[in-house]
Amino acid sequence: MDENFRRTVILIAEHDDEGTIGFVLTRPVDIEIQGLISAFPKLKTRVGYGGPVGQDSVHYVHKLGDELKESLPITDGLWWSGDFDQLISMVDLGKVKTSDILFFIGYSGWSPGQLDEEIKAGSWIVSSVTVKEVLNDDPKEMWKSSLKPINSNFKVISEMPDSDLYN
């Protein structure tokens, strides 16, 4: 029921004994990265609302891998963060394509054990997404498409209008 997470898909970037960090994949914002970081070189890329925590911070996931120093692996073919100055240089040199990176304003965070408890309570549905889905140009249908393959009950829920689910 939390408006921050209603009908969202969250990419979990880190989950360990210290807590969990993730990014909302399904809430694009109407701003270019240069509107957040004026010194960032021109690159037409998607910016999303990552979550309610750290709204004064910008994060990014990418498929640049080890080419970008200090990148943290999330899954095969997808990394989080990295050396920002090097990223700017790589963009300037044309080594980064729009489809390689996704920026977020803020992030979603859970204290140690909190997300595990919420999953046990049924607050979250655990699924997997591909790198292609994460870096998809149109995240608006991601919530629906991620539910359909799980089982027929979720397929029905995915087709219900938002107002029917929460009234």
* Domain-wise residue ranges, the chain: 10-136
Give the span between the Cα atoms of 91 and 53, in whole angstroms: 27
Tens of pLDDT along the chain (167 residues)?
677 888 888 999 999 999 999 999 999 999 999 999 999 999 988 899 999 999 999 999 999 998 999 999 999 999 999 999 999 999 999 999 999 999 999 999 999 999 999 999 988 988 888 898 888 867 777 777 776 666 665 655 656 666 544 44
- The angle formed by the CA atoms of residues 161, 162 and 166, to the nearest 5 degrees, is 125
Instruction: Supply 6's token pair.
Output: 């209603």
What is the DSSP secondary-structure string of the chain?
Answer: --TTTTT--EEEEEEETTEEEEEESS-B-S--HHHH-TTSPP----EEE--SEEEEEEEEEES-GGGSTT-EEEETTEEE---HHHHHHHHHTT---GGGEEEEEEEEEE-TTHHHHHHHTTS-------HHHHT-S-GGGHHHHHHTTT-HHHHHHHHS-HHHHH-
Looking at domain 10-136, its CATH class is alpha beta
Q: pTM for the complete prediction? A: 0.88
CA gap 133, 2 in Å, rounded: 24
